[in-house]
DNA sequence: TCAATATTACCCCAATTGGGGTATTGAGCA
DNA sequence: TGCTCAATACCCCAATTGGGGTAATATTGA
């Protein structure tokens, strides 16, 4: 199966080069080439891509706006940002908009193909310089010392039960899911509450989500 | 000029392999090999590295603690985390501790050398899978994106009540907080459930947190 | 090997919750 | 001026939850 790639790039030379490379490489398939995001919705539906190769700098709707639109409406599509810039603002905006990868145009065609494959497979290729900026941004925005999540030492079963509580299931339904009795679920829940120092499902769920215990 | 590298790794086989590779490759120099972080301060002063290759899983002081210590006391030293694990908690902790790069042990020796060079030059090499997790973590802490919090059209009072439910308060306590009766709180809660299409406090709390309704 | 823990399961009982009503007051709006 | 809706408050009742036990089995760890 080929990886279906749609290209958004305003520079004709680069655009044609990308298209040629993708069309000429086994495993890849260029299903759409666009010089702007004017009719983005149509472009996406028409090209039906697995991966979008997105230039940030474009006239009209820019690549970050377009990224936000695509990731909101078609979250299954991976978006690989391509740019000549590496400033914090754009990186930050692109990530928040839902970009899956962020590489520099200077990286060359072989790396580009590798990056496309990686985003397709769920990874997030980033140039090391980009990654360095992401880490710095991360450290800046990171919340105060969160308690290490297995601080509470929940057992595997307890985590499973807790995760279904987060889905809003009642104890009987949880029991059915795991083929254990209602009373057993209750036993687990009681232990969870003791370990988390809470006395209600709401508080347990809130804590679990906030501290990412599951 | 060689890149001076100190190795912290408890597995002797891996440790020796790293040392051999580094010693045998032009441009690199292994200035210290340590099986634990017992005398970390001394180890760093003695080996005076440009780059520390740090294993996360180590007996005694683990790699993350050690990373925090080094980056605090010698911020000019780059720390490249090496691990077999790729769970969010460790990645997050390592980044916050000041790691410059985070790669998987399965990545192989050639990539290891490339990664060392990249951290030395100020980049942050990351496996694409690691990077994907970092981006997800990032998006989690970044500004509340899509969720138009008034999607569900909760009234102000309802949002207030919901926010206290997230704190794990029971209805009576919530009533006392806002100087309204227990029954009124229940009335609000019922309306909240209808608006959110849930039937339990847990589900309401989970939805509220996930979609940033409050 | 012995102790601790995880997982399973049940009992009892009080408290809370979920869902269905009804009703009054006041604000905002056509 | 009616109409709608938010906010307040109460009633009833069934179901679920929270907290306290006890106990068997299996696995783990020291």
Question: How far in angstroms lies nucleotide D11's C1' from the CA of residue B133?
Answer: 52
Predicted pLDDT of residue B202: 92
Q: Looking at the partner chain, which of A101, A127, A170 has a beta carbon nearest the beta carbon of B200?
A: A170
The answer to whether the CB atoms of B126 and A122 lie below 8 A apart is no
**Nearest C-alpha in A relative to B137:** A138
* Chain A CB contacts of B96 below 8 Å: 139, 142, 145
Write down the mean pLDDT value for chain A.
87
**Over 60: is that where the pLDDT of A78 sits?**
yes
Q: Which of A65, A118, A206 to substitute to test the interface with B, most B CBs within 10 Å? A: A206
In angstroms, the CA B102 to CA B129 distance is 10
The pTM (predicted TM-score) of the whole model is 0.61
CA–C1' nearest nucleotide, residue B174:
C16
Is B127 within 8 Å of A129 when comparing Cβ atoms?
no
**B207 to chain A: which residues are within 8 Å by CB?**
168
Segment B65-87, tens digit of pLDDT: 899 889 888 989 999 998 887 77
- What pLDDT score does A214 carry? 63
Most confident range (mean pLDDT) of A93-97, B18-22, B139-143 is B18-22
Range with the lowest mean pLDDT among A2-16, B22-36, B149-163? B149-163
Q: CA at A212, C1' at C7: how many angstroms apart?
A: 24
Whole-number pLDDT of residue A143? 54
Name the residue among B92, B129, B202 with its Cβ closest to that of A166: B202
Would you state the structure tokens that stand for residue B83, as one six-digit string? 């691990």
Tell me what pLDDT residue A17 has.
93
More confident residue, B93 or A170: A170
Say if the Cβ atoms of B202 and A99 lie within 8 Å: no
For chain A, the DSSP string reads -PEEEEEE-S-HHHHHHHHHHHHHSTTEEEEEEES--TTHHHHHHHH--SEEEEES--SSS-HHHHHHHHHHH-TTSEEEEEES---HHHHHHHHHHT-SEEEEGGG-HHHHHHHHHHHHTT---B-HHHHHHHHHHHHHHPPS-PPPGGGG---HHHHHHHHHHHTT--HHHHHHHHT--HHHHHHHHHHHHHHHT-SSHHHHHHHHHHTT--
> Which tens digits make up the pLDDT trace of A147-176?
444 467 788 899 899 999 998 899 999 999
Number of Cβ atoms within 10 Å of the Cβ of B82: 23
Dist CA B110 CA A125 (whole Å) = 18
Contact B203 A168 (CB under 8 A): yes
Q: For position A141, what pLDDT does the model report?
A: 67
- Pairing type for strands A3-8 and A51-55 reads parallel
């Amino acid at each position: 199966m080929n990886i279906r790639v749609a290209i958004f790039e305003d520079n004709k030379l680069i655009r044609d080069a990308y298209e040629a490379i993708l069309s000429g490489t086994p495993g890849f398939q260029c299903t759409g080439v666009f010089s702007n995001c004017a009719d983005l919705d149509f472009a996406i539906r028409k090209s039906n891509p697995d991966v979008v190769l997105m230039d940030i700098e474009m006239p009209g709707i820019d690549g970050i706006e377009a990224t936000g639109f695509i990731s909101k409406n078609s979250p299954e599509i991976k978006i690989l940002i391509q740019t000549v810039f590496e400033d914090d603002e754009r990186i930050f905006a692109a990530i928040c908009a839902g970009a899956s990868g962020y590489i520099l145009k200077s990286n060359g065609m072989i790396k580009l193909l590798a990056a496309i494959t990686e985003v397709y497979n769920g990874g997030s290729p980033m140039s090391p310089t980009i990654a360095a900026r992401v880490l710095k941004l991360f450290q800046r925005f990171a919340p105060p010392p969160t308690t290490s999540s297995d601080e509470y030492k929940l057992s595997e079963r307890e985590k499973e039960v807790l995760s279904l509580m987060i889905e809003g299931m009642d104890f009987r339904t949880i029991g059915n899911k795991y083929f254990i009795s209602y009373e057993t679920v209750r036993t687990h829940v009681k232990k969870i509450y003791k370990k988390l120092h809470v006395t209600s499902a709401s508080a347990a769920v809130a804590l679990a989500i906030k501290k990412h215990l599951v």
